[in-house]
Amino acid sequence: MTTILAADIGATHARFAAFTHGPAGLAPGRSLWLDSAGAGSLAGLLDALRRAEPALDPARADAVALAVPGPVRDGVFCAPPNLPWSIDVSDPGALGLGRVVLLNDFQAQAWAVLTGVMDTAVPVLPGAPGSAPGQGGPVAVLGPGTGMGQALLAPDGRGGHVALASEGGHALFPFQGEEEFAFQRFLLARGGRSRVVGDMVVSGPGLAAVHAFLSGEELAPAQVAGRLDRHPRTLRWAARFLGRACRDHVLRTAALGGLVVCGGVAARNPALLADPAFAAEFLASDTHADFLAAVPVRLNTAQDSGLWGAAYHGAAMLGP
């Protein structure tokens, strides 16, 4: 039996959980949330972890798997675009760590597709008869939160899988029609940016921006989410943008194995996927409508799925 400390470090919060791994697979233990933005550094975050109640000492784990919100370089470094400090594990001993692995946060979400968290996933679109995520090809993963994360889980040709990270949330977002072009101009003026990327549209801040554009009312993302049933136009626009981002991600990756939508915004607001605008936009294609109709779509509502994915990756690092 081995022990794995998994972390899902976000721009606002950092989630930690202790897992054990044995013949029966992964089993979760103690967990806690910490303030990541205010920690100041990875060392500060780990010190807060040791002082927390209940404390989790990373030095006592057989492996530490850190899922981080940005591209990982050389397996040891990440400069997250939405976090005010960088993450460097090139000298684990200086951090009080033993074996440590760094992976992108949505790479962890992709690994989570292979764990038990998918048992509670909510079907959104059925896809081809009898299809399920993971059957028939790669699985695309997309999730709106502070930004828009993307990843891919693909067969490795040897009976296993490989999880591929993506920074697709920082690619340009496509708009259509005069109303949407007006929204694009609104975003450019609002954020002082030179271009509009997916993070600015399919995310919590994007949801707030859609509502402000349509209603003139400035609210925090959580406030907008809590009032979606009273603002059908905001819901319809946000659902359409989410459907477009999901469709384009599936087409770019030929993800016939399915699409899994995760992330806090979607998990806490399933109406975004239940609204007819999501399906209409996801299936809209002049050339590949049949392909898209065969792709099963599921909503992963588990808030700890990133931890499961990180732990899965950490267990793989330790071997059988």
Enter the CATH code of domain 122-299: 3.40.367.20
Say which range, 44-53, 140-149, 255-264, 268-277, has the weakest mean pLDDT: 44-53
Residue 174: is the preceding peptide bond cis (ω within 30°)? no
Q: Show me where the domains of the chain are located.
A: 2-104+304-318, 122-299
pLDDT bucket at 12, cuts 50 / 70 / 90: confident
What is the per-residue pLDDT for 67?
A: 96
Mean pLDDT to the nearest integer, 145-153: 94
Under 8 Å CB-to-CB from 275, ≥6 apart: which residues?
235, 236, 239
Interval 175-205: pLDDT, tens: 999 999 999 999 999 988 899 999 999 999 9
pLDDT bucket at 260, cuts 50 / 70 / 90: very high
What is the per-residue pLDDT for 56?
A: 84
User: Locate tokens 């801040």: which residue?
Assistant: 205
> What is the distance between the alpha carbons of residues 216 and 229, in angstroms, rounded to a whole number?
17
What is the per-residue pLDDT for 81?
A: 83
The overall longest dimension of the chain from CA atoms, in Å, is 59
| Full-model pTM | 0.92
What is the per-residue pLDDT for 262?
A: 95
What is the per-residue pLDDT for 135?
A: 61
Mean pLDDT to the nearest integer, 254-276: 95
Instruction: Report how far apart, in Å, the C-alpha atoms of 150 and of each of 33, 137, 168, 237, 309 are.
Output: 23, 17, 6, 21, 14
The DSSP-derived string for 250-295 is: HHHHT-TTEEEE-SHHHHH-THHHHSHHHHHHHT--SS-HHHHHTS
Neighbours of 53 (CB within 10 A): 5
Residues facing residue 260 across a β-bridge: 141, 298
Under the phi-then-psi rule, with left for phi > 0, alpha for psi from -120 to 50, and beta for the rest, what region is 115? beta
> What is the distance between the alpha carbons of residues 52 and 31, in angstroms, rounded to a whole number?
11
Which one, of 66, 246, 220, lies nearest residue 144 by Cα? Answer: 246
What is the per-residue pLDDT for 106?
A: 95
Pick the CATH number of 2-104+304-318 from 3.30.420.40, 3.30.530.20, 3.40.50.800, 2.60.40.10: 3.30.420.40
Interval 78-137: pLDDT, tens: 998 888 899 999 999 999 899 999 999 999 999 999 999 999 999 999 998 655 555 668
Interval 156-167: pLDDT, tens: 888 889 999 999
| Residue 277 clears pLDDT 70, i.e. is over it | yes
| Residue 63 clears pLDDT 80, i.e. is over it | yes
Residue 196: helix, strand or coil by DSSP?
Answer: coil
| Residue 312 clears pLDDT 90, i.e. is over it | yes
What is the per-residue pLDDT for 132?
A: 53
